[in-house]
Structure 1
Amino acid sequence: MTATLVPAAPTASAATLEHPLAAQEPAPAEDASTSDPTEEITTEIEERVPEGFAEMVAEAGPYMGLLLGAGVSAVFAVVLTLVTSTVLTQIFRRRPRVQRTIRRTRLPLFFLILFGGSALSVRFAVSSIYWWQGPLYVALIIATIVSLAWWALRVVKIVEAVILSRYTGEGDEAIDDRQGRRVKTQVTLIGRVLAAIIITLAVAAVLLLNESVRGLGAGVLASAGVVSVVAGLAMQSTLSNVFAGIQLAFTDAIRVGDVIIIEGNYGHVEEITLSNVVVKSWDLRRFVYPSAYFVATPFENWTRVGSEILGTVELDVDWRVPLDQLRGRLERLLDSTDLWDGELGIIEVVHATGGYVQAWVTLSARNAGDIWGLRCLVREDLVNYLRAEHPYAVMTHRMMLSNEEALGGQPAPVATGQFGAVDPAEAATGPTSSGEGEEPEFASPEGLFTGSIAAVERSREFEGPGEEAYRERRQRQDEDPE
């Protein structure tokens, strides 16, 4: 019994000692879960740092090495900032808008290189035995992350300026309606989305420097489904507006410069953001609508595939109105004004009931501003013309009374043939004015959208996106009839 039991113990012990790491296999997974992501990034950066710089900083000692590393980083930052800024400015020397944006990247690029180099100097020159090494390194890393986010935002602005510079002059007001409205809408929206992503990543990177925050990572991932549902319910309206804004920009339902009518408000689209749409009315008021409103509610887009538009002037006149002479007056008036595009200008009788005649003057113009001014001009001129030349054509209300009702029940007088007699010529053509028969001058075309520099500028806001945009939309409709 003893001979058989004694060897068994050493055999089991040998089996246990033969694999000493078998019980410690989960340890690497535990280390991976608590690993510092900044250490991995720093290690990658350190491998690419020139060996001469690392040795120089390390040999100088903790304090002089830190100052030396910061000084070298500052000099390198100044040189690199000036070189890149000068080169890019020369490349875009014909685009002042891009040059202004490039100059704004100098400061964030300088701080990015300065703080990044200083952080590496702390790693190379300062030993971990110094209590201030850890906090200083973390502070420099945070400053580097903030500078990187700042510089990335400026780079996004540079790209945006380069794209928009094809369609703009010195300022935002010089946008070429014929080419750049849609591009401006989409580029601006994409820039804001990228800015939100950059800021979110920067905040997340700063928070991950805290070990307690990294420890919460597994718990956050485990409860991501619940958190997403709660966040979705709490931010439902905000998220719907954001996605609606993206949909508006890329489906081309509206774009900056489109003339629209929404809830009875007439204006043009001034700005499209992630969450709302700003509509500028003709009286300079601004209406701010949530982006989701345009996705779910019908609205009128007067410049969807073109700015040409028709307008009508309604005239209620007497049955004796001389329509041929009225048409001749309209034709001469349209030939004398630049508001008319030469396409359509007609008079039609649409109603002849209720004791009067309703005539519609249908007109065409190049854009909404011109049609407004043309309608006002035609309405005023035809009213003056009828009043001066054909006063009998002005609408009147007739009332027929019997003789007994008119005389209070007394017998009617004997008819002599003279009471109420009308000249046959006057009955055929209507009475003429008391003047010499000259037609009045055309009404002055001064109004809301015409007649002054301010009015012309106001009219340009209602010209729509331009011919290039209309041609692009028509091609898209032909390619995709659905």
Structure 2
Amino acid sequence: MEKLNVLPWHEQALWLLGIFLGGLILGLAFYWIIKKILRVSHSELSKDLPRVKNPFVFVVIVLSLQLWPELYFESKTPFITQLSQIVNILAVTWLLIGMVKGIRDSIVRRYKQDVGSSLKLRKLFTQVRLFERIVIVIIVILAIALILMTFDSIRRVGVSILTSAGIAGVIIGLAAQRLIANLLAGFQLAITQPIRLGDVVIVEGEWGTIHEMTLTYVVVAIWDKRMLVVPSTYFIEKPFQNWTRKSGEMLGTVYLYVDYHLPLEPVRKELKRIVNDNPMWDGETANIQVTGSTEKAMEIRALIGADNANDAWNLRVHVREKLIEFLQKEFPEMLPKSRVTLEKDG
């Protein structure tokens, strides 16, 4: 049994508090010096440094506290040694996670300035976010493994588990089959990118945008503010519509049914006037075409362009409303009607 030195417990507590405060001050001082150096050198890293401030200071405090058992114990007890190892692992893990997030912010900010296309930026941001989560998961798993290895009893249990690894592997494999499939699908989505954050998609008949992507599931924000959670395997195994896969530009259509006697040229001019007054129009596509006919009316289609799916939807609604108002006012007799012809005998 290890014995404490002759110092009373309250003096040891004061020394421990002093070392803790000294480590805190030292960590903040180091952080401030590094930040000043980066700012003076105009380094972009100065903008990402706050990500690692707290874990960095914590690491310095932990290193400072390593002095306590050396000073006030005749030798380290097994408990103190193990506790010190666990705290060290947690401190380094926190620091590594902060560094990964700082690197992510640095990459996104740098390419945000260089890449003009929002499509390329969304593609990059999706990849960075997914790979960031992959790296963090690996770091956490390794940290948990290292912590468990500090327990001798668990080490011994591990040897016995390895002898039956074949049976355990089969059981775990069957139980985690769906989880593993989703994880692999998450990796595939990060690399091939059939979808990206911000893409407009139709999934299960629902129109929405990709709101969040993880390794196991994807969250689609539906237009009516609902959130549709879909497993990652869905986007690998099933067909879906991606309206912004190659470009954010969209074409919208408005169908109207009118009488055969309606002159089309005034309607074309009115469509031009409507879209010219609307900032959502892309300035290129706006025309009227006859796309169908029945025994009662002809079908005309207004084709309009917008920069993104949301603008295309709102522009379609606006154009439909204004064209109907135009027909009601200028050509009310050309709206669809049923005709009955009466003929006299003789």
State the TM-score bracket (shorter-chain normalisation).
0.7 to 0.9
Amino acid at match of 2:247: G
* Inter-partner Cα distance in structure 1 for 2:75 and 2:310: 74
* Inter-partner Cα distance in structure 2 for 1:158 and 1:291: 26
* Inter-partner Cα distance in structure 2 for 1:269 and 1:322: 43
* Inter-partner Cα distance in structure 2 for 1:63 and 1:182: 64
What fraction of aligned residue pairs are identical, expressed as a percent?
Answer: 32
Partner of 2:329: 388
Q: How does 1:19-418 map to 2 (within 5 A)?
A: 62=5, 75=22, 78-79=25-26, 82-88=29-35, 90-91=37-38, 98-118=48-68, 121=70, 126-127=74-75, 133-166=77-110, 177=118, 180-400=121-341
Q: CA deviation at 1:399?
A: 3.0
Given that 1:276 and 1:288 are in contact with CA atoms closer than 8 Å, whether structure 2 keeps it comes out as: yes
Given that 1:85 and 1:103 are in contact with CA atoms closer than 8 Å, whether structure 2 keeps it comes out as: no
Given that 2:23 and 2:61 are in contact with CA atoms closer than 8 Å, whether structure 1 keeps it comes out as: no
Q: CA deviation at 1:217?
A: 3.0
Q: Aligned pair count?
A: 333
* Inter-partner Cα distance in structure 2 for 1:73 and 1:336: 66
Given that 2:31 and 2:57 are in contact with CA atoms closer than 8 Å, whether structure 1 keeps it comes out as: no
The 3-state SS of whatever aligns with 1:344 is strand
Q: Alpha carbons of 1:95 and 1:155: their partners in 2 closer, same or farther (altered >3 Å)?
A: closer
The 3-state SS of whatever aligns with 2:183 is helix
Question: CA offsets per residue over residues 333-378 of structure 1, 9 Å max, x none?
Answer: 3333333223222211122222211111112222212222322222
Given that 1:85 and 1:106 are in contact with CA atoms closer than 8 Å, whether structure 2 keeps it comes out as: no
Q: Alpha carbons of 1:125 and 1:381: their partners in 2 closer, same or farther (altered >3 Å)?
A: closer
* Inter-partner Cα distance in structure 2 for 1:287 and 1:95: 37
Question: CA offsets per residue over residues 305-325 of structure 1, 9 Å max, x none?
Answer: 111221111111111111222
Given that 1:259 and 1:267 are in contact with CA atoms closer than 8 Å, whether structure 2 keeps it comes out as: yes
Question: CA offsets per residue over residues 1-56 of structure 1, 9 Å max, x none?
Answer: xxxxxxxxxxxxxxxxxxxxxxxxxxxxxxxxxxxxxxxxxxxxxxxxxxxxxxxx
The answer for unaligned runs of 5 or more in structure 1 is 1-60, 170-175, 404-411, 415-482
Given that 1:116 and 1:140 are in contact with CA atoms closer than 8 Å, whether structure 2 keeps it comes out as: yes
Partner of 1:28: none
* Inter-partner Cα distance in structure 1 for 2:146 and 2:6: 28
* Inter-partner Cα distance in structure 1 for 2:66 and 2:180: 36
Given that 1:340 and 1:364 are in contact with CA atoms closer than 8 Å, whether structure 2 keeps it comes out as: yes
Query: TM-score scaled by structure 1?
Result: 0.61
Amino acid at match of 2:337: T
The answer for unaligned runs of 5 or more in structure 2 is none
Given that 2:27 and 2:61 are in contact with CA atoms closer than 8 Å, whether structure 1 keeps it comes out as: no
Q: Alpha carbons of 1:111 and 1:202: their partners in 2 closer, same or farther (altered >3 Å)?
A: farther
Higher-strand-fraction structure? 2
Once superposed, what is the RMSD of the aligned Cα atoms? 3.3
Amino acid at match of 2:29: L
Q: Alpha carbons of 1:259 and 1:138: their partners in 2 closer, same or farther (altered >3 Å)?
A: same
Query: TM-score scaled by structure 2?
Result: 0.83
